[in-house]
Amino acid sequence: MYQATEFNCGAIIISCAILHQVGDAYSLHMFLVAWAKYAQSETITNVPSIRPSILNPRHPPCYNTSIDNLYMPMSSLPPPSFFEEPLQGRIYYIHSESIKRLQSEASTEETKRSKFLSFTAFLWKLLAHGEDTASNATSRMGIVINGRRFLTESSEKTSTFENHFGNVLSIPYGVASNNDLKVMPLHEVAERVHRFVSTAAKEEHFRQLIDWVELHRPNPMVARIYFGLEESEGEAVVVSDGHGLPIKDMDFGWGKPEFGSYHFPWGGQTGYVATMPSAKENGDWVVYMYLKEKDFNLIDRIAAHEFIPVTHVSF
C-alpha cells in the first residue's frame, strides 16, 4: 500500500506500507528504487527476484539447538496482557561527530568497531540506566541481520540472492545484567554485542534457520526476543541498520528527498530502533525509535546531547 500526499507548503510526502510476511526492509528498499526509476522511465538495474525456491531447505534438514534459543512456535506464547505500557514512536537526529565519538569509545587499539555496532552498544548501556534498579534485573538487545550477503558468498546465483524479494532475516540477541552494563566501559559492551552478532553473521546460521522453519511447518514461528516469557528476561530492544535505505536513489521526478524514515509499530513490548543516513549525505543519522515513554524520558534526560528530536522545522 502506498500514498503520495501534497501539502500547501509544496512538500510531497510518499509513504509505503509493507506486510512483513511478504518482505523485509531490504525488499522494500528494492521496491522503492524500482518504483522511482519506473516513474522516471529509467532502466531498473536491480530487478527484484521473487523466487522462494532459492531458500529451499537442505536434504535432510539439520539444525542445532542455538536456533531454538532464537525462535519459537507462536502456539507457545502466553496470552496478551491488558496492562502493557503502550510504545510510542519518535525520530531523532544524531550528528556525525557524535557517531564518530561513540565509535572511538567502543573500539580498542586492537579492534575497531563499526559505527552501527558502536551505536547499538551505546543504546544498550544507556537504556540499562532505566527505572528498574533491582540487582538481578537484565535486559536484552537484538540486531537484525540480513542473510542475503552470507548466502550469496557461496552461491553461483549471486544476483538472485542479492535481489531476492522476501524475508531473509535473523535476529540474534544478547542478555546482560543492567548493573553490569552500567559500569562496563563502552568497548566491553560492544564486545558483547559483537559476540552475539557473530553467531548469526554466517551462511551456516541461515542454512540452519531455513531448515528449522521447514521442520516446524505449518506452525507459524516468531523471533523469541519479541516476547519476554519470563519476568527475569527483562526488557528488550531490536536495532536495525537502515543505512541501505536508498534515499539518494528515490527521485520520483520532483528532486531528491530531503528526509526518509520508518514507522514500525509491531505491537508487544519489545522496542524497535532503526538507524538511517541523513538525506544531507554528510554523515549524520536519522534514528527512528519505538520505545516506552520512560525510555524516551531517560534519553532526553541523560543523552540529549546525542539525540536531537526531529521536528517539522528541523530540515
For 26-34, what is the mean pLDDT?
85
The reported pLDDT for the residue numbered 34 is: 87
94 — pLDDT class (breaks 50, 70, 90)? very high
For 45-57, what is the mean pLDDT?
83
Which region among 133-137, 175-179, 249-253 has the lowest average model confidence (pLDDT)? 133-137
Q: Which three cell numbers stand for residue 264?
A: 514500525
Greater model confidence, 22 or 144: 144
CB distance 258 to 163 below 8 Å: no
42 in any annotated domain: yes
CB distance 30 to 163 below 8 Å: yes
DSSP at 56 = P
Q: What is the pTM of this model?
A: 0.88
Taking only the tens place, the pLDDT of each residue in 229-282 is: 565 677 899 999 988 766 777 888 888 887 777 777 776 789 999 999 888 888
Q: Looking at the predicted structure, is the pLDDT value of residue 44 above 90?
A: no
DSSP-derived pairing of the beta strands 12-16 and 173-177: unpaired
CB distance 286 to 310 below 8 Å: yes
The reported pLDDT for the residue numbered 135 is: 64
71 in any annotated domain: yes
3-state secondary structure of 175: strand
The reported pLDDT for the residue numbered 133 is: 60
* CA–CA distance, 142 with 270 (Å, rounded to integer): 10
* CA–CA distance, 102 with 120 (Å, rounded to integer): 10
- Domain with 228 in it: 2-309
CB distance 116 to 124 below 8 Å: no
Q: Which three cell numbers stand for residue 127?
A: 537504556
CATH at 16: 3.30.559.10
35 in any annotated domain: yes
The reported pLDDT for the residue numbered 120 is: 98
CB distance 259 to 285 below 8 Å: no
Tally Cβ neighbours within 10 Å of residue 245: 25
Q: CB-based contacts of 81: which residues, under 8 Å, 6+ apart?
A: none
264 in any annotated domain: yes
Which region among 1-5, 10-14, 76-80 has the lowest average model confidence (pLDDT)? 1-5
The reported pLDDT for the residue numbered 313 is: 46
3-state secondary structure of 313: coil
315 in any annotated domain: no
CB distance 234 to 178 below 8 Å: yes
95 in any annotated domain: yes
The total of structural domains in the chain comes to: 1
156 — pLDDT class (breaks 50, 70, 90)? low
| Average pLDDT of the chain, as a whole number | 85
Q: Which three cell numbers stand for residue 7?
A: 501539502
Q: How far apart are the first and last CA of the chain?
A: 27
314 in any annotated domain: no
The reported pLDDT for the residue numbered 27 is: 86
Cis check for the bond before 218: say yes or no (omega within 30 of 0): yes
